[in-house]
Amino acid sequence: MLIDKTLAEYTNLLSSDAPTPGGGSSLALVGLNATCLVMMAANVTITKLSKKGLDCPQLNESVGKLEQTKQAFHTLIDQDATAFS
């Protein structure tokens, strides 16, 4: 599974003449990275608010939805390679 490879292994495969990974899984990886960056920003904000005794339920709910999106991108990375094969 591509998702289980190290970053070095994945990028070495991507730059080779191997048929997979290709554009689809690479775009899913970009989506995964973007989702994780948004989650990081949200989690930092949640932590800062929490230290001030504040709570933001909408932000917590958004992080939950982002976690689902993150898992979907994990799946899509390998689904693209499977579909191509």
Q: What is the pTM of this model?
A: 0.87
Write out pLDDT tens, residues 42-51. Answer: 999 999 999 9
Question: In the predicted model, is pLDDT for residue 83 greater than 80?
Answer: yes
CA distance 52 to 13: 46
How far is residue 84 from each of residues 14, 18, 35, measured CA to CA in Å? 14, 12, 24
Write out pLDDT tens, residues 3-47. Answer: 999 999 999 999 999 999 999 999 999 999 999 999 999 999 999
